[in-house]
């Protein structure tokens, strides 16, 4: 066993004594696990909770995919790693920038740090948009692996550290909008754990099912039954399995089944004039069929004229459906966000509401007749934090005395779980 430790962002990590597998269940609201326990369909998760450790942790706000995945693999909040949404506005060019470029990530990752010290690392994500950031600085020439199920048929040794992935996994390339996109990630993790026994694995799923199906829905239950089987197999192979989520999920529809939307750009244009403000919806990504680019957290930039942060806040703070309208300094302080990538005003929705830009910018036809389910607000920032192995006494005391953060999952899994077992 190696004696060296890895230190990243103020946290010291011991060398794993057995494989550690951290799974990010995209959109994995605690309600799905609560329902699954009631329905008796997730026996392996139930065992982890009974014999290991289970809690609800605070995730990163805004509760979106990119910032939370980066928090998980850096063990730090967005103020440190710099990824505060899926999109932000470059104030110099006034262009919206996708925040998936590895160059935007300001922190080293735990995966890269361990790999540089000689560990074997596996990083698999459902969505290819995350792959390059998750794999930033990861030297694939030394035995580590990084790929997505979305593009598993395109893997090469130079780009991914692996080839012939479909053959290894024994599944066809999954559809982008299916539960198989996530199941492929987990089955690939199982096969690589069997074959290579890596030191650390990070498996990040997709939330298509949670966007479309509420807890207890037959399709949601089928999905949780299937992923529970994979979790059990990972544990059988001797890994410490850690489960968390990037965000939760809530119904955002009216009683009649229509999306419950505040189109903020239209409201601000009417109040201040067109061109004075720019609303950015940081949930926006290529998977708009999931959510129509509508989430519970948006940012507003003031571009001139009479629109000031104070005037915007005064105009919208008491509107029905608005939970909070905060200036830059306040939102950065409250949620540990990087000021240079924050808007002049952050607007957070109530639990059953989403906020959009202009109505004309959102194509909701892909939602079909389904009720809109989405995330982004504080109401979706509570996530599961489950370990397959019990905590050491020290970490039990820590968990009982601190506000648990989802970005501590690697710390607890490596340093606190299965120690000496």
Give CA–CA dist 296/350, Å, rounded: 7
Neighbour-count burial for 44-60, b at 16+ CB within 10 Å, e otherwise: bbbebbeebbbeebbbb
pLDDT tens string 27-54? 999 999 999 999 999 999 999 999 999 9
pLDDT at 193 > cutoff 50: yes
Q: For residues 248 and 376, is the Cβ–Cβ distance under 8 A?
A: no
- Which tokens in the block code for residue 283? 């949930």
Give the Å distances, CA to CA, from 167 to 170, 172, 191: 5, 9, 11
Query: Which string of DSSP letters, residue by residue, matches 372-406?
Result: PEE--SGGG-EEEEEESSPBPHHHHHHHHHS--BG
CA–CA gap between residue 115 and residue 265 (Å, rounded): 45
Residue with tokens 């240079």: 340
- Give the model's pLDDT for residue 288: 54
User: Helix, strand, or coil here: 184?
Assistant: helix
DSSP 16: P
Positive or negative torsion for Cα 322, 324, 327, 331: negative
Instruction: Please say whether the dihedral angle defined by the alpha carbons of residues 82, 67, 350 and 336, taken in this order, is positive or negative.
Output: negative
How would you class 262 by CB atoms within 10 Å of its CB: exposed for 0-12, middle for 13-18, buried for 19 or more?
A: buried
| Token pair recorded at residue 346 | 């952050």
Domain boundaries, the chain: 6-248+381-416, 261-374
Q: What is the structure's pLDDT at 87?
A: 83
Q: How confident is the model at residue 4 (pLDDT cuts 50, 70, 90)?
A: confident
pLDDT tens readout for residues 350-379: 999 999 999 998 888 777 778 999 999 999
Q: Region 101-122: what's the mean pLDDT?
A: 96
Look at residue 369 in the predicted model and tell me its pLDDT: 77
Burial class (CB in 10 A: 0-12, 13-18, 19+), 148: buried
Q: Is the pLDDT of residue 262 over 90?
A: yes
pLDDT at 304 over 90: no
Q: What was the pLDDT predicted at 418? A: 73
- Residue 129 — very low, low, confident or very high, per pLDDT cuts 50/70/90? confident
Amino acid 420: pLDDT: 56
Query: What integer is the mean pLDDT of 45-70?
Result: 97
Q: Say whether pLDDT at 148 is over 60.
A: yes
For range 389-417, the mean pLDDT: 97
Q: What is the pLDDT of residue 1?
A: 47
Number of other CB atoms surrounding residue 72 within 10 Å: 27
Helix (H) or strand (E) holding 56: strand 53-58
The rounded radius of gyration (Å) of the Cα atoms in the chain is 21
CATH tag for 261-374 (out of 3.40.1190.10, 3.10.580.10, 3.30.1360.110, 3.30.70.260): 3.30.1360.110
Task: Tell me the pLDDT of the chain averaged across its residues.
Answer: 94
- 342 pLDDT tier (thresholds 50, 70, 90): very high
> Nearest CA to 104 among 132, 144, 146, 63?
132
Q: How far apart are CA 266 and CA 296, in angstroms?
A: 17
Same fold, 6-248+381-416 and 261-374: no
Percentage of the chain exceeding pLDDT 70: 97
CATH class in words for 6-248+381-416:
alpha beta
Task: Please tell me the total number of residues recorded for the chain in this structure.
Answer: 421
Q: What is the pLDDT of residue 291?
A: 52
Confidence band, pLDDT 50/70/90 cuts, at residue 331 = very high
Residue 355: name the closest of 397, 324, 311, 387 by CA: 324
pLDDT for res 42: 98
Q: What is the pTM of this model?
A: 0.96
Cα dihedral 78, 70, 384, 376 sign? positive
Percent of the chain clearing pLDDT 90 (strictly above): 88
H/E element holding 299?
strand 297-302
Query: Which residue's structure tokens are 């946290």?
Result: 11
């Amino acid at each position: 066993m190696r004696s060296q430790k890895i230190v990243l962002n103020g946290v010291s990590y011991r060398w794993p004594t057995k494989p550690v597998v951290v799974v990010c269940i995209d959109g994995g609201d605690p309600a799905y696990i609560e329902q699954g326990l009631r329905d008796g369909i997730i026996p392996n998760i139930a065992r982890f909770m009974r014999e290991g450790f289970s809690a609800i942790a605070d995730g990163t706000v805004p509760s979106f995919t990119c910032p939370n995945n980066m928090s998980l693999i850096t063990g730090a909040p967005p103020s440190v790693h710099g990824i505060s949404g899926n999109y932000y506005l470059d104030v110099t060019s006034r262009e919206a920038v996708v925040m998936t470029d590895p160059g935007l990530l300001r922190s080293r990752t735990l995966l890269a740090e361990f790999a540089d010290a000689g560990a074997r690392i596996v990083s698999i994500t459902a969505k290819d948009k995350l792959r390059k950031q998750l794999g930033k600085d990861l030297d694939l020439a030394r035995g580590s692996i990084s790929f997505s199920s979305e593009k598993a048929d395109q893997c090469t040794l130079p780009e991914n550290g692996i080839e012939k992935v479909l053959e290894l996994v024994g599944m066809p390339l999954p559809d982008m909008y299916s539960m198989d996109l996530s199941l492929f990630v987990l089955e690939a993790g199982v096969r690589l754990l069997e074959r290579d026994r890596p030191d650390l694995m990070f498996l990040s799923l997709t939330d298509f099912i949670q966007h479309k199906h509420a807890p207890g829905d037959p399709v949601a239950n089928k999905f949780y039954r299937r992923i529970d089987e994979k979790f059990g197999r990972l544990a059988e192979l001797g890994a410490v399995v850690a489960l968390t989520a990037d965000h939760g999920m809530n119904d955002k529809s009216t009683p009649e089944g229509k999306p419950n939307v505040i189109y903020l750009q239209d409201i601000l244009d009417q109040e201040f004039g067109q061109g004075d403000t720019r609303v950015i919806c940081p949930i926006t990504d290529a998977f708009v069929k999931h959510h129509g680019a509508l989430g519970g957290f948006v940012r507003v930039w003031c571009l001139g004229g009479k629109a000031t942060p104070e005037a915007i806040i005064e105009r919208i703070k008491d509107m029905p459906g608005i939970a909070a309208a905060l200036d830059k300094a306040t939102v950065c302080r409250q949620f540990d966000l990087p000021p240079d990538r924050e808007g002049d005003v952050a607007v957070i929705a109530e639990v059953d509401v989403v906020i959009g830009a202009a109505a004309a910018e959102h194509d909701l036809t892909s939602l079909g007749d389904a009720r809109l389910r989405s995330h982004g607000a504080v109401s979706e920032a509570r996530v599961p934090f489950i370990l397959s192995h019990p905590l050491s006494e020290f970490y039990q005391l820590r968990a009982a005395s601190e506000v648990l953060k989802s970005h501590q999952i690697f710390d607890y899994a490596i340093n606190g779980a299965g120690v000496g077992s």
